[in-house]
Amino acid sequence: MTRRPALTVVGATGGAGSVMLQILSQHADVWGEVRLVASARSAGRKLLVRGEECEVLALSEEALDGADVVVFLAPDEIAAHWAPVAAAKGAVVVDSSAAFRMDPDVPLVVPELNPHAVRMRPRGIVASPHPTTLAMIVTVGALHAEFCLSELVLSTYQAVSGEGQAGVEALRRQISLVAGTGLGTSPGDVRRAVGDDLGPFAAPVALNVVPWAGELAEDGWSSQELGLRDELRKLLDLPRLPVAATCVRVPVVTTHSVSVHARFENEVDVARAHEILATAPGVVLFDDPAAGEFPTPADVVGTDPTWVGRVRSSPDDPRVLELFVCGDNLRKGTALNAAHIAELAAREFTAR
């Protein structure tokens, strides 16, 4: 009889952490011991996992002992410090933060796309992509395998939970301030109602869209825009792929959407693209505008796959496809992809 591997989840008390607990309960037979870890502030809380109460431990050297796999659902700076500590103790580390995504010695993994890369991890760390990348990569990757991608132009519609609970609370506070009013029609009226209570955003997000996500990088680009480009190039192994992204925050709680303009080396047709997307793992094709069928965040939130619709070819260029994709940024976008990577690593232990 094989031993089931031990899992430690760091960041168990956040939004992605609570989704991870649901996933662990659904996939209850994968893991032996499950340990939950969070900041000292959350230590001692009891959370339900696989039907049993589990006490949250404070993050420390000792808390990382004894795990076969450690999943980090924690901020960049926590992961940057503690992931190498866990790896040095012999665990396989799965990190959902940005800390290691572009490290050449850390594979960036989407199990539907490049599952074998999990085993090539010289630092003992495997990275999971940004939620916006994960909202679209499975769709675009499946089309690339058939048609060979040559350019991407992306505009995002990113949910506020991408900035964590602080983002969700800021939107909810702001919506309460504007509900039942006539705001949104005079210069600055939303800004005056919201005041300085912007939460993690650079402008009001209720009754508004904010064309900014991340930090200022070079030449006016945001870190998330350049990160999307870098991650897509690494995942698709196309180091020179032109990728132009504009990242925009919208008043949606959870589920990122992306408008995708994809040019390929070869001519594409919508019927063949539909066939590919209808059978691609992790993808739901939902594309019949005549019947009102196209993905929206309100319909996709809480589901595992990425959804794609509005598939159409350009009358101007037979190599171009337009798509609209939605993916739950806490599920496939964070916890689910990390769980899938962790389960690939778990097989190494059960196969021993």
Instruction: Tell which positions 273-292 bind its own copies, by CB under 8 A.
Output: 287, 289-290, 292
Place of tokens 């990122």: 256
Site for its own copies in 188-247 (CB under 8 A): 188-191, 202-204, 207-212, 216, 219-222, 240, 242-244, 246
Compute the distance between CA of residue 73 and CA of residue 94 in angstroms, rounded to an integer: 9
Q: How far apart, in whole angstroms, are the C-alpha atoms of residue 66 and residue 336?
A: 23
Give the range of 37-45, 47-55, 154-162, 337-345 binding its own copies by CB under 8 A.
154-162
Q: Is 22 in the site for its own copies (CB under 8 A)?
A: no
CB of 307 to its own copies, least distance (A): 11
Q: How far is the CB of 99 from its own copies (least distance, A)?
A: 23
Q: Which is nearer to its own copies, 103 or 299 (CB)?
A: 299
319 binds its own copies (CB under 8 A): no
Q: Is 315 in the site for its own copies (CB under 8 A)?
A: yes
Considering the rule CB under 8 A, would residue 314 count as an interface residue with its own copies? Answer: yes
Segment 50-109, which members bind its own copies (CB under 8 A)? none
* In the complex, minimum distance from the CB of residue 32 to its own copies, in angstroms, rounded to a whole number: 30
Q: Does residue 285 contact residue 177 with C-beta atoms inside 8 Å?
A: no
Report which of 200, 129, 135 is spatially closest to residue 168, judged by C-alpha positions: 200
Based on its alpha-carbon atoms, the radius of gyration of the chain, rounded to whole angstroms, reads: 21
Among 58, 85, 102, 253, binds its own copies (CB under 8 A): 253
2 or 185, CB closer to its own copies?
185
Phi, psi for 340 (deg, rounded to 5): -65, -45
CA distances from 36 to 46, 57, 93, 142, 239 (A): 9, 6, 15, 35, 37
Q: How many residues bind its own copies (CB under 8 A)?
A: 74
Residues 273 and 256: their CA atoms lie apart, in Å, by 22
Q: Is 2 in the site for its own copies (CB under 8 A)?
A: no
Please identify, using beta-carbon distances, which residue of 31 and 157 lies nearer to its own copies. 157
| Half-sphere exposure in the Cβ direction for 71 (13 Å, CA) | 31
For 150, residues 6+ apart whose C-beta sits below 8 A from its C-beta are 241, 242, 263, 264, 265, 319
- Please give the DSSP secondary-structure letter assigned to residue 112: T
Among the residue ranges 28-36, 55-63, 91-99, 185-193, the one whose residues contact its own copies (CB under 8 A):
185-193
Q: Minimum distance from CB of 210 to its own copies (Å)? A: 6
**Could you tell me the smallest distance in angstroms from the CB atom of residue 296 to its own copies?**
5
